[in-house]
Structure 1
Amino acid sequence: MSRDHKACSLLERRRIEDSGGFVDSFGYLNGELTVARALGDWHIDGLKVTQEGGEGPLTAVPEMHEVCLSEEDEFLIIGCDGFWDVFTSENAVDFARRRLQLHNDPLQCSKELIKEALRRDTNDNLTVLTVCFRDIPPPRPLPILPSVKRSISAEGLQSLSAALQEVVEGCLH
């Protein structure tokens, strides 16, 4: 539904640099935050407004776009930087989908995501909100069937059986 707002992403890096900030070699905005957009972090006033009074490298302005939900859309995960520091988007979706397949409870899923983020040693505060778009659990994935099928002729099977029999007899003697 959205892209990651990490300071090291190309679009965010450009916006940060255009507003007078920088992204260090570890991906931190001005050496302090991994995110480029944030609600809160009021203690970092110098990143929010430039000396000229313009928008600073850290912004609370959301990236907005309208999306029409489809039948394929299952749920939404909203989280703070303490959560996204230890989860990739794909990783969070996979984890949440597995949990929702078991109980389809968005509150419980949010708690489990927080517990997992703590287990992964996040170093920041944690907020996670899971929104389910359906009343039914997400579908379980279909097993991937092999695309190549192999067969052996009766003659080949007989030869293989004879060869195996020789190996077994050789081991017994």
Structure 2
Amino acid sequence: MGAFLDKPRTEKHNLHAEGNGLRYGLSSMQGWRVEMEDAHTAVLGLPGPGMTDWSFFAVYDGHAGSRVANYCSKHLLEHIIMCPANKGAGETQSSQTGSDSSAWDSPTLVPPTVETVKSGIRTGFLKIDEHMRSFSDLRNGMDRSGSTAVGILLSPDHFFFINCGDSRAVLYRNSHVCFSTLDHKPCNPRERERIQNAGGSVMIQRVNGSLAVSRALGDFDYKCVDGKGPTEQLVSPEPEVFEMARAPEQDQFVVLACDGIWDVMSNEELCEFVKSRLEVSDDLERVCNEVVDTCLHKGSRDNMSVVLVCLPNAPKVSEEAVRKDAELNKYLESRVEELLSRPAEEGFPDLVAVMRNLSTDIGMPLLPPGGGLASKRSVIEAVYNRLNPYREEDGSGAELEYHW
């Protein structure tokens, strides 16, 4: 289940880069959990001949430890790329000479087919899971960690969405969510059937009443049923892979995130919030940080990681949006100052009371869609701390709740 801290750790890890016609940013935060178990991968330009215009991004949500998530973040991509070519994938120089070759490392640079790529991804997941089983600490139960994995492989012409577990990827196209990966939960009929066929059960929506996901890498305690193959175990390492043709004039952005984000935001809410923030700032790290902070203030108690991949047709900064956002911030600042200037019989109001009061303000300008008042918590908190006569020297103020 995981243990929690007395207060969240809000330091963030950030990255950003651009290439192959893409821009990406990412943010991760430990939050309330006692350990940071998330990891990520972001690669612009894959290794190997003819692969420089391909890119790969992924988020790994570890559980019962970070070992599997961290290993996959460093090595999953190489396991995918090094899978042998499918039979019938096309004539290559290497196949003519009989040498063993990667599906994507052909001396004649024959582009891999869609089915070759999908097969290579699936095989890569099974191979890395098999490889990790050889690690003594994982094999002997000294480390019982596992990890979900959600990713996207981008070729010049296609998206390959990859999912194993309950992290999620969404594609925002033509100003609406046009695709989302499917969470692998034990209560899903297909997953439940496999679990029961392997001699397990689904209780309180968990595998054997314990694990909340039905597919994951690692978790070898759930992968030891004799007579069953790797994809027939209580927990399967097999990913689902969805291919979509790219639509350059319509595709706007892709979001990959762990369930610490999706626990408090729907697909539509998160994408609308991201869109609104991209109209205010082209700093993708800042946008991702706002996502993570907003989810914390919406009540997420988990580790949080988000990767935002912006495509050429992503929303651009709008002067009108910037002006409205500044007006909203100014309004909130003045309202907090007004609320704190009123005499109160109970003494100086806490921040939760201020937030609740603002949530009923019918005269407030429009808040960011999907984010609501929680997305402006930092603005409100800055004014509150400045005017709080009981503020501690370190600036933290009184102990505050993060959800109201």
Same fold (TM over 0.5): yes
Give TM class, smaller chain: 0.5 to 0.7
For 1:102, the equivalent position in structure 2 comes to: 280
Q: Give the RMSD, CA atoms, in angstroms.
A: 3.0
Alpha-carbon distance change, 109 to 11 in structure 1, aligned in 2, over 3 angstroms:
farther
Give the counterpart of 1:68 among 245, 254, 275: 245
- In structure 2, list runs of 5 or more residues that go unmatched: 1-178, 319-404
Work out the CA distance in 1 between the residues paired with 2:269 and 2:212: 18
For 1:144, the equivalent position in structure 2 comes to: none
Give the counterpart of 1:120 among 290, 298, 313: 298
For 2:309, the equivalent position in structure 1 comes to: 131
1:58 equivalent in alignment to 2:232:
no
1:45 equivalent in alignment to 2:220:
yes
Give the counterpart of 1:24 among 203, 219, 225: 203
Q: Is the 8 Å Cα contact of residues 79 and 127 (structure 1) preserved in structure 2? A: yes
Work out the CA distance in 1 between the residues paired with 2:279 and 2:182: 25
Q: Is the 8 Å Cα contact of residues 100 and 138 (structure 1) preserved in structure 2? A: yes
Work out the CA distance in 2 between the residues paired with 1:20 and 1:73: 44
Work out the CA distance in 2 between the residues paired with 1:114 and 1:92: 11
1:135 is displaced (CA, Å) by: 5.8
Q: In the TM superposition, what are the counterparts of 1:5-16 in structure 2 within 5 Å?
A: 5-7=183-185, 8-16=187-195
Percent identical: 31
Alpha-carbon distance change, 136 to 87 in structure 1, aligned in 2, over 3 angstroms:
closer
Count of equivalent residues: 135
Partner deviation per Cα, 1:20-45 (whole Å, 9 max, x = no partner) = 444434x3344334443345xx5x43
Give the structure with higher Rg (CA): 1
Work out the CA distance in 1 between the residues paired with 2:212 and 2:269: 18
* One-letter code aligned to 1:46: D
TM-score, scaled relative to structure 1: 0.60
Q: Is the 8 Å Cα contact of residues 257 and 305 (structure 2) preserved in structure 1? A: yes
Runs (4+) of structure 1 moved beyond 6 Å? none
* One-letter code aligned to 1:134: P
TM-score, scaled relative to structure 2: 0.29
Work out the CA distance in 1 between the residues paired with 2:224 and 2:288: 36
SS of residue in 1 equivalent to 2:236 = coil
Partner deviation per Cα, 1:104-137 (whole Å, 9 max, x = no partner) = 3332222222112222222322221111112652
1:78 is displaced (CA, Å) by: 0.9
SS of residue in 1 equivalent to 2:239 = coil
Between Structure 1 and Structure 2, which shows a larger proportion of strand residues?
2
Work out the CA distance in 1 between the residues paired with 2:262 and 2:240: 17
Q: Is the 8 Å Cα contact of residues 103 and 137 (structure 1) preserved in structure 2? A: no
Alpha-carbon distance change, 68 to 99 in structure 1, aligned in 2, over 3 angstroms:
same
**Stretch of structure 1 that moved more, 4-13 or 112-121:** 4-13
Work out the CA distance in 1 between the residues paired with 2:289 and 2:246: 25
Q: Is the 8 Å Cα contact of residues 82 and 122 (structure 1) preserved in structure 2? A: yes
